């Protein structure tokens, strides 16, 4: 497997002139001709994105009759959506189903990069450029959507990013539509403990003939976490956007997908059979509507990560996902540190013992870590005197500190 990120042209399930980004850990495949969509983000053999089987290889030019096409993957449109849709004189809009141009770009920090460039959206007088950047030595994919006002007058628009995750644990993400969820997929979203209203969650009904699907949702199963155990029932939840991550755990593969995105509005939709012919989970991120002068731009940035972790997901840090938080155990005259995690980076883990003033008192190596394997910590340790903090630190393959998986604050006598 290649370790240096690269971007190459490829074909993908009947689509030609696609692009694939790889770095030896994850594989990202984008299809320009159906709205500049990534349709594959895979760790190992597990693609987390939904793809509709009936439209494999299709495009706007070849689609069969009018109506919405469930290509899947990740795409973007404009909001306020009702105003944008009223402007459309023909369907489908170019921004999320039209033919994009694609060209390799220069990424930051050694990343392989690809620009996906929309045709002008004549209805709104805008153009969207989607930049994909896959970074080395980790599972990070950064997607930067940039919207430009093409009109000679000012207008106000925001970017509405939509991510469609598979609702059935098919390894390639391709779904026929008649699959029944087996309970292997769970979405985790943090709650706002300071909110007086159900942790910042508002459930939305789907109108006549649909159900909220409330039996799928739980705020009691895990402290501080909203869980969606997907059961193909329609449901929608508006979640607190100040808490920036959503994580999909695929119990069958053992892998976890994480999206990080800070926006003023975020929604989770559980697709139900009454409204959608496929089983999928949708994460919608709404960027701030911005008054754009001629040629001015607005941006929405999201990061995707993946790790191997048995679940559940109770936290996401800079370095990985937490299934069982770091804890110090004592018994039989011994002390040891334990926890269960998944990491985003190839590198090494260390337990760092710090004094109250931040001075490092000791460091205990915990070995090699990779996104391809879960990281279970169960390590005997002698805690030095004056220890005020214990940090589970992750360093990348070059030895750079990239974050931690947990911190313990100890009482210092």
Residue 67 inside a domain? The answer is yes
Q: How many residues does the chain have?
A: 413
User: How does pLDDT run across 336-384, given as a tens digit for each residue?
Assistant: 999 999 999 999 999 999 999 999 999 999 999 999 999 999 999 999 9
Write out the E strands in 122-244. Answer: 126-134, 141-149, 155-166, 174-175, 185-190, 202-204, 217-222, 225-229, 235-239
Residue 327 inside a domain? The answer is yes
82 and 108 inside one domain: yes
Q: What confidence score (pLDDT) does residue 68 get? A: 73
Q: What confidence score (pLDDT) does residue 242 get? A: 78
Tens digit of each residue's pLDDT, the chain (413 residues): 448 999 999 999 999 999 999 999 999 999 999 999 999 999 999 999 999 999 999 987 654 455 678 999 999 999 998 999 898 877 778 898 999 999 999 999 999 999 999 999 999 999 999 999 999 999 999 999 999 999 999 999 999 999 999 999 999 999 999 998 888 999 999 988 776 556 678 887 543 333 445 688 998 899 899 999 999 988 899 998 877 899 999 999 999 999 999 998 999 999 987 778 999 999 999 999 999 999 999 999 999 999 999 889 999 999 999 999 999 998 877 899 999 999 999 999 999 999 999 999 999 999 999 999 999 999 999 999 999 999 999 999 999 999 999 999 997 55
Neighbouring C-beta atoms of residue 223, cutoff 10 Å? 9
Q: What confidence score (pLDDT) does residue 205 get? A: 56
CA separation for the pair 395, 304 (Å, rounded): 19
Q: How many structural domains comprise the chain?
A: 2
287 and 330 inside one domain: no
Q: What confidence score (pLDDT) does residue 147 get? A: 98
pTM attached to this predicted model: 0.94
Specify whether the CB–CB gap between 220 and 226 falls below 8 A. Answer: no
Residue 348 inside a domain? The answer is yes
Residue 148 inside a domain? The answer is yes
Q: What confidence score (pLDDT) does residue 333 get? A: 78
CA separation for the pair 396, 348 (Å, rounded): 7
330 and 352 inside one domain: yes
CATH of the domain at 385: 2.60.40
75 and 136 inside one domain: yes
Residue that terminates a domain, selected from 308, 326, 341: 308
Residue 222 inside a domain? The answer is yes
239 and 381 inside one domain: no
Neighbouring C-beta atoms of residue 230, cutoff 10 Å? 25
Specify whether the CB–CB gap between 82 and 89 falls below 8 A. Answer: no
Q: Which of 261, 264, 231 is nearest to 247 (CA)?
A: 261
Q: Tell me which residue range forms the domain holding 84.
A: 6-308
Q: Which of 163, 190, 161, 189 is nearest to 280 (CA)?
A: 163
CA 136, 22, 70, 279 torsion: positive or negative? Answer: negative
335 and 298 inside one domain: no
404 and 279 inside one domain: no
255 and 369 inside one domain: no
257 and 361 inside one domain: no
Specify whether the CB–CB gap between 103 and 131 falls below 8 A. Answer: no
Residue that terminates a domain, selected from 278, 308, 338: 308
Residue 1 inside a domain? The answer is no
Q: What confidence score (pLDDT) does residue 199 get? A: 66
282 and 329 inside one domain: no
Residue that terminates a domain, selected from 308, 338, 370: 308
CA separation for the pair 213, 67 (Å, rounded): 26
285 and 394 inside one domain: no
386 and 273 inside one domain: no
């Amino acid at each position: 497997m290649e370790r240096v990120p690269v971007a190459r042209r490829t074909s993908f399930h009947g689509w030609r002139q696609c692009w694939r980004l790889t770095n030896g850990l994850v594989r990202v495949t984008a299809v320009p001709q159906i709205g500049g969509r990534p349709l594959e983000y895979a760790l190992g053999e597990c693609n987390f994105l939904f793809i509709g089987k009936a439209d494999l290889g299709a495009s706007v030019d070849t689609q069969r009759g009018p109506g919405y096409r469930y290509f899947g993957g990740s795409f973007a449109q404009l909001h306020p959506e009702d105003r944008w849709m009223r402007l459309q004189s023909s369907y489908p809009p170019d921004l999320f189903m039209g033919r994009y141009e694609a060209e390799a770009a220069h990424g930051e920090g050694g990343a392989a990069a690809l620009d996906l460039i929309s045709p002008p959206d004549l209805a709104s007088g805008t153009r969207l450029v989607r930049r994909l950047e896959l970074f080395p030595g980790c599972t990070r994919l950064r997607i930067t959507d940039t919207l430009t006002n093409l009109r000679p007058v000012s207008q106000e628009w925001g970017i509405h990013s939509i991510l469609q995750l598979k609702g059935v644990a098919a390894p390639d993400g391709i779904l026929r539509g008649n699959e029944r969820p087996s309970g292997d997929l769970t979405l985790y979203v943090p709650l706002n403990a300071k909110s007086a209203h159900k942790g910042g969650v508002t459930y939305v009904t789907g109108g006549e003939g649909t159900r909220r699907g409330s039996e799928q949702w739980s705020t009691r199963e895990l402290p501080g976490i909203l869980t969606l155990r997907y059961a193909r029932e329609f449901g929608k939840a508006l979640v607190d956007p100040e808490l920036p991550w959503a994580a999909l755990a695929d119990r069958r593969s053992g892998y976890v997908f994480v999206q990080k995105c800070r926006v003023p509005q975020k929604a989770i939709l559980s697709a139900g059979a009454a409204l959608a012919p496929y089983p999928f989970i949708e994460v919608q991120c709404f960027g701030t509507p911005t008054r754009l002068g001629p040629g001015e731009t607005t941006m929405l940035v999201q990061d995707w990560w993946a790790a191997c972790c048995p679940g559940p997901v109770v936290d996401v840090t800079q370095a990985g996902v937490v299934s069982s938080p770091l804890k110090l155990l004592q018994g039989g005259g011994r002390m040891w540190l334990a926890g269960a995690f998944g990491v985003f980076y190839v590198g090494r883990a260390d337990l760092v013992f710090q004094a109250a003033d931040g001075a490092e008192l000791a460091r205990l190596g915990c070995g090699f870590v990779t996104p391809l394997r879960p990281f279970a910590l169960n390590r005997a340790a002698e805690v030095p005197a004056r220890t005020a903090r214990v940090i589970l630190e992750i360093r990348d393959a070059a030895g750079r500190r990239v974050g931690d998986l947990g911190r313990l604050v100890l009482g210092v006598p």
